Structure 1
Amino acid sequence: MTATADAEAAANELTPLADYLGSVLRRLRALPPLDLDLTQAHGNVLAEDVVAPHAFPAFDQAAVDGYAARWEDISGGGRGPSYVPAPSGTPGGRTIRLNVVGDLGAASWRPVRLTPGSCFSVAAGAPLPVAADVVVPVEWTDQGMAAVEIFRTPKRGYGVRRAGEELPVGTLLARAGTYVSPALVAVFAATGIGHVVVRPSPRVVIVATGDELVDVGRGSQPGQVVDANSHALTAAAAEVGALAYRVGICDDDPEGLRGLLEDQTLRADLIITTGGTGTGPGDMVRRILSRREGGRAGPVTFTDVALYPGTALGFGTVGAEEVPVVCLPGDPGAALIGFEVLARPAIQLLAGAEPVFRPSVRAHLLETVSSPTGLREFRPAHVAERRGGGYTVQPLSGGPFTLSGLAEANGLLVLGERVTTAAAGSTVDVLLLDRRR
């Protein structure tokens, strides 16, 4: 049997990634909804549709600072205005003079009415006088106080916002599953909403395991490895919108690991462990959490998935509350890829977000790459938009295990199980990463 045939045979024993993800995500349910104050709801996902109880704007109002008037008075069709010579250089050769009968600010509340030949000085946001159908901007006038001369005539309705013009009563403001953004908070508040029903942000606990781990602030040396994973995964969970808690390092002690996970179930909606998912002598997480007790399978099932990097993944529940747990590999690159592939969709599902997966695009590959047989590879890459439309993707040097590549990437190049070589110029799938830069 050739080496290629051996590799293909081994790959055939792995679980396809799509099948594995489907089996895991079907076991999860969105967290129960909460009624939250509007400000606290920011960053969560709506659990039900939201409809406008009041109109926006709530009343007819001025959109600009200026003079609220009747359009027929300033257009020459009314009986009230008087015409005066225009200043030198004014278009039309004459101006219109109106009496200013009062001032209206945003806090004005008494209803007033315009009479022919009159106007009100108004601030943006002020309620409009009855019969006003235009606001002349101050820069189109001499800014008079008792009387104003208008040099330029706007169209009817200029500078006016009518009640309910933007959002009438009963408008569907947002559907269930929508992320509550700052702009959506403003929409809710403007239409009289003070509370909304949302899915709470999942509480995610991150635990790094391994006798070899030491905390940050020093360099690795033989027998010691700096714990990069728990810090990185805590940041990744927070980026998704979770309430992320880093527990830190847990030694490869069976009772200590069991006790730690049991304690964390009291404050977690999801637990993520990193390290110990393989089948080697030091892979205690797999050995402990998959152990059969009383004839029953362990609480966590470990599966060899057709994924590169990091084929060994675990999923199950722990504790009396049956809190979901995701077990990721110990290699930092594999852990971050595993988070993107498995943990991130799980967090999104718990939060009620739709869709649970990152957006993807088809991109023009700039460099020929090879990929392991039978594995779905996720490789750090840089994605760019092309002139005229479409995307290009440049694989980053070092492959999927390099932390520097992951830090630089704004996308993950996805090469399917059947792809062994992707030629430059071919079209490939790319997951788009959130990068605030």
Structure 2
Amino acid sequence: MTATADAEAAANELTPLADYLGSVLRRLRALPPLDLDLTQAHGNVLAEDVVAPHAFPAFDQAAVDGYAARWEDISGGGRGPSYVPAPSGTPGGRTIRLNVVGDLGAASWRPVRLTPGSCFSVAAGAPLPVAADVVVPVEWTDQGMAAVEIFRTPKRGYGVRRAGEELPAGTLLARAGTYVSPALVAVFAATGIGHVVVRPSPRVVIVATGDELVDVGRGSQPGQVVDANSHALTAAAAEVGALAYRVGICDDDPEGLRGLLEDQTLRADLIITTGGTGTGPGDMVRRILSRREGGRAGPVTFTDVALYPGTALGFGTVGAEEVPVVCLPGDPGAALIGFEVLARPAIQLLAGAEPVFRPSVRAHLLETVSSPTGLREFRPAHVAERRGGGYTVQPLSGGPFTLSGLAEANGLLVLGERVTTAAAGSTVDVLLLDRRR
């Protein structure tokens, strides 16, 4: 048997990534709904449709600073206005004079009515006098106090916001599954909503395992590896919107690991471990969590998935509460790819967010790349929009294991299991990464 045939045979024994993801995500359910004060709802996903209990605006109001008037008075159709010579250079050769009978601010509440030939000085947001149907902007007048001269006539309705004009009472403001953004918070507040029912942000605990690990602030030495994973994965979980807690480093001690995970089930909706998912002599996580006890399978199943990098992934539940646990490889690059592929969709599903996967585009490949046989590869890349439409994608040097490439990437080039070579000029799939600046 040739080396190629050996590789193909080995790849055939791996679980396709799509099948594995489907089996994992079907076991998860969105967290129970929670009624939250509006100030705490931002960043969560609505669990119920939200309908406006009150109209917005709640009453007829001025949209600009100026003078609230009757349009027939300033258009010449009424009997009240006085016409006076216009200042030099004013179109039309004359102005309209109205008596200013009062001032209205945003805090004014007493109802008032306009009479022919009169107006009120109003601030933006002030309630409109009865019969007013236009607000003349301040800059179109001489800004008079007892009487005002109007140099330019606006259209009927200018500067006026009618009650319910934007959102009548009973309007569907947002459907279940909608992300609560700052603007949506403003809409809820403006229509009289003080609390909403949401899916809570998942509480995610991150644990790095391995006797070789040391904390940050020093360089790696033979026999010691700086723990980059727990810091990176905590940041990645927070980026998704989870409440992320970094536990830190756990040695390869069976009782210590079991006890730590049991303790964390009290505050976690999801636990992520990194390291020890392989079958080598030092891979204790797989050995401990997959161990059969009392004739039953272990709480976590480890699967060799057709994924590059990081084929060995684990999923199951731990503790009496059966808290889901995702086990990722120990290599930092493989751990971050594993998070994107498995942990991130799990967090999105727990949060009730849709879609659970990142958006993807088809892009024009700028450089020929090769890929391992039988594995679905996720490679750091830079995506750019093409002039005239579409996208281009440039693979970053070093391949998927390089941290520097992942740090620079704004996308992940996806090469399917049957792709061994993707030629420059071909069209490929790219996951778009969210890189806020």
TM-score category, normalised to shorter length: over 0.9
Give the deviation of 1:390 after TM superposition.
1.1
Q: Distance in 1 between matches of 2:9 and 2:20?
A: 19
Give the deviation of 1:142 after TM superposition.
0.5
Confirm whether residue 422 of structure 1 aligns to residue 428 of structure 2. no
Report Cα offsets for 1:42-74 as digits up to 9, x if no partner. 111100000000000000000000000111111
Q: Distance in 2 between matches of 1:387 and 1:143?
A: 50
Report Cα offsets for 1:312-334 as digits up to 9, x if no partner. 00000000000000000000000
| Other structure's SS at 2:407 match | helix
| Other structure's SS at 2:278 match | coil
Report Cα offsets for 1:161-202 as digits up to 9, x if no partner. 000000001100011111111100000000000010011111
Report Cα offsets for 1:270-321 as digits up to 9, x if no partner. 0000000000010000000000111110000000000000000000000000
Q: Distance in 1 between matches of 2:130 and 2:369?
A: 71
Give the deviation of 1:388 after TM superposition.
1.5
TM-score, normalized by length of structure 1? 0.99
Instruction: Determine the structure 2 residue equivalent to 1:230.
Output: 230
Q: Distance in 1 between matches of 2:10 and 2:103?
A: 83
Confirm whether residue 191 of structure 1 aligns to residue 191 of structure 2. yes
Give the deviation of 1:93 after TM superposition.
1.1
| Other structure's SS at 1:341 match | helix
| Other structure's SS at 1:152 match | coil
Instruction: Determine the structure 2 residue equivalent to 1:59.
Output: 59
| Other structure's SS at 2:8 match | helix
Q: Distance in 2 between matches of 1:367 and 1:108?
A: 67
Give the deviation of 1:386 after TM superposition.
1.2
Report Cα offsets for 1:96-118 as digits up to 9, x if no partner. 11111100000000111111111
Q: Distance in 2 between matches of 1:372 and 1:134?
A: 71
Give the deviation of 1:215 after TM superposition.
0.3
Gaps of 5+ in 1: none
Q: Distance in 2 between matches of 1:245 and 1:348?
A: 17
Give aligned pairs, total.
Answer: 437
| Other structure's SS at 1:358 match | coil
Give the deviation of 1:389 after TM superposition.
1.3
Give the deviation of 1:135 after TM superposition.
0.5
| Other structure's SS at 1:382 match | strand
Report Cα offsets for 1:130-157 as digits up to 9, x if no partner. 1111111000100000011111111111
Q: Distance in 1 between matches of 2:420 and 2:89?
A: 75
Any residues of structure 2 matched to 1:89-104 within 5 Å, and which?
89-104=89-104
Report Cα offsets for 1:397-424 as digits up to 9, x if no partner. 1110000011111111111111111111
Instruction: Determine the structure 1 residue equivalent to 2:113.
Output: 113
Give the deviation of 1:36 after TM superposition.
0.5
| Other structure's SS at 1:237 match | helix
Give the deviation of 1:425 after TM superposition.
1.1
| Other structure's SS at 2:189 match | helix
Q: Distance in 2 between matches of 1:224 and 1:127?
A: 70
| Other structure's SS at 1:378 match | strand
Q: Distance in 1 between matches of 2:205 and 2:128?
A: 55
| Other structure's SS at 1:131 match | coil
Q: Distance in 1 between matches of 2:339 and 2:28?
A: 16
Q: Distance in 2 between matches of 1:118 and 1:386?
A: 59
Q: Distance in 2 between matches of 1:142 and 1:389?
A: 51
Higher mean displacement: 355-364 or 226-235 = 355-364
Give the deviation of 1:3 after TM superposition.
1.1
Give the deviation of 1:76 after TM superposition.
1.1
Give the deviation of 1:426 after TM superposition.
1.0
Higher mean displacement: 2-11 or 18-27 = 2-11
Give the deviation of 1:368 after TM superposition.
1.0
Give the deviation of 1:16 after TM superposition.
0.6
Give the deviation of 1:367 after TM superposition.
1.0
TM-score, normalized by length of structure 2? 0.99
Gaps of 5+ in 2: none
- Aligned Cα root-mean-square deviation (Å): 0.6
Give the deviation of 1:387 after TM superposition.
1.4
Report Cα offsets for 1:65-102 as digits up to 9, x if no partner. 00001111111111111111111111111111111110
What percent of counterpart residues are identical? 100
Instruction: Determine the structure 1 residue equivalent to 2:268.
Output: 268
Confirm whether residue 312 of structure 1 aligns to residue 309 of structure 2. no
| Other structure's SS at 1:430 match | strand
Instruction: Determine the structure 1 residue equivalent to 2:68.
Output: 68
